[in-house]
Structure 1
Amino acid sequence: MNERKPTLRERQRSETRRAIQAHAVRLFTDRGYDAVTVADVADAVGVSAMTVYRHFPTKEDLVLVDQPALLIADRVAASSATDPLVRRVGGALVEAAAALTGGDGDEPAADEQFLLDCLRLMVSTPALRARHLDSQYALQEAVVDALGGTTDPEATFRARAATGACLAAMHTALTRWVDDDGRTGLPDLIARALAASFGHDVIATGRTS
């Protein structure tokens, strides 16, 4: 079955959203998050503040990146249901990081640099930390759903426990990646954090860089 192609209106909306977020993150990085207003972002893009708010209901939303969560959930859903939970989630985290960053530690590409800038803002800005925790909880629930819905409370508990532990390891890797200014490959950092937490066989052979 062919996927429906986005309409012109949908493409224009997506392009406007990307432009707003790119300008916002650049301004936050250059001037500091607290020093930049939504009106400043609107002026930089050449749109009204109302247009910014239509795409991003709050200032904090300008720094959130939805793509990683979608990639991770998709890869978890595609993983083998016979694998251990930690391997399914951990492998998805490494694969999604490789897809987003190219998997190496050379000069970051444009998209990789954008992700790095967003993470740096999340880590360093007190006003964004609570929102970051909210996004991590939403990611955890998305991963649990992708593992396969169940009415068994014990199975759901195990899925949440395994997912939360993997995401904690990933958070440690993301912090290290920010500290290294992206010089160390993110997939490798996540794989190393998972191995330190669960052992070296947590990631299936061939998934790490």
Structure 2
Amino acid sequence: MADQHTTLRARRRAQTQRMIQGHAVRLFAWRGYDATTVTDVAEAAGVSPMTVYRHFPTKEDLVLADEHGRLVGERIAASAPGQPLVRRIGGALIDSAAALTGDDAGREFLLTRLRLMISTPALRAKHLDNQYALQQAIIGALGDDAADPETAFHAQAAASACLAALHTALVRWAEEDGRADLPGLIAKALAAVFGESPLPREGD
């Protein structure tokens, strides 16, 4: 019974976070990030400013907070150990992008967030923290492939290169107003960096 209550609380918390963030991103895109206050977001969401801060400690988090690290980590952990690092990491980045853009609502939400991150100086600076957190999620999910200092160094280098390719693809996607296929753009960027597709070949 206790586990059920814990799960229910976590589900409600996630729903509240998504609702608040949805209102925040909509307002930021409409009024402008700097012109919109946390109080404005709270009023639109029908909650108190304290509730907003309980879920999003900073105003920047209202845009930057996402589940990308969890999605990527789950896909890396589910991939076969021993594969080339670029294939494990790149494949996870492509799969998670497909999940995030799998429906119109998800695609538009991600596109709006990216536009805000690109156009708002405060968000561009804070975005580096998100990249570091995503890199750490990748390293943690690799398990034995990053278990000692030497393999961790290789994993960090591979993750950094893959995330640079991801960033390039995301910027291109936003500049093209989301018309292109995001997973395909990520695969193309990774191939430009590493000289081959991160996706498994037939028979692998």
What number of residue pairs does the alignment pair up? 199
Alignment match, 1:112: 107
1:168 matched to 2:164: yes
After alignment, is 56-65 or 180-189 more displaced? Answer: 56-65
Q: Give, as a single letter, the amino acid of the residue that structure 2 aligns with 1:178.
A: A
Q: Give, as a single letter, the amino acid of the residue that structure 2 aligns with 1:110.
A: A
Q: Give, as a single letter, the amino acid of the residue that structure 1 aligns with 2:107.
A: E
**Superposed counterparts of 1:57-136, under 5 Å:** 57-102=57-102, 109-136=104-131
Alignment match, 2:40: 40
Q: Check 1:163–1:5 CA distance in 2 against 1; reply closer, same or farther (3 A cut).
A: farther
The structural deviation recorded for 1:84 is 0.7
1:192 matched to 2:188: yes
Give TM-score scaled by structure 2 length: 0.91
Identity %: 62
Q: Deviations over 1:29-58 (max 9, x none)?
A: 011100000011111112111111111111
**Relative contact order, higher structure (CA 8 A, sep 6+):** 1
Q: Give, as a single letter, the amino acid of the residue that structure 2 aligns with 1:156.
A: A
The structural deviation recorded for 1:14 is 2.4
Q: Check 1:8–1:161 CA distance in 2 against 1; reply closer, same or farther (3 A cut).
A: closer
Kindly report structure 1 stretches of 4+ aligned residues shifted beyond 4 Å.
3-8
The structural deviation recorded for 1:4 is 5.7
Q: Check 1:7–1:137 CA distance in 2 against 1; reply closer, same or farther (3 A cut).
A: closer
Q: How far apart, in 1, do the equivalents of 2:25 and 2:99 lie?
A: 21
The structural deviation recorded for 1:10 is 3.5
Structure 1's unaligned 5+ residue stretches are: 103-107
Pick aligned residue for 1:154 from 150, 154, 159: 150
Structure 2's unaligned 5+ residue stretches are: none
The structural deviation recorded for 1:201 is 3.8
CA RMSD of aligned residues (A): 1.8
The structural deviation recorded for 1:5 is 7.7
Alignment match, 2:52: 52
Q: How far apart, in 2, do the equivalents of 1:199 and 1:177 lie?
A: 21
The structural deviation recorded for 1:148 is 1.2
After alignment, is 197-206 or 118-127 more displaced? Answer: 197-206
Q: Check 1:151–1:95 CA distance in 2 against 1; reply closer, same or farther (3 A cut).
A: closer
Q: Check 1:151–1:97 CA distance in 2 against 1; reply closer, same or farther (3 A cut).
A: closer
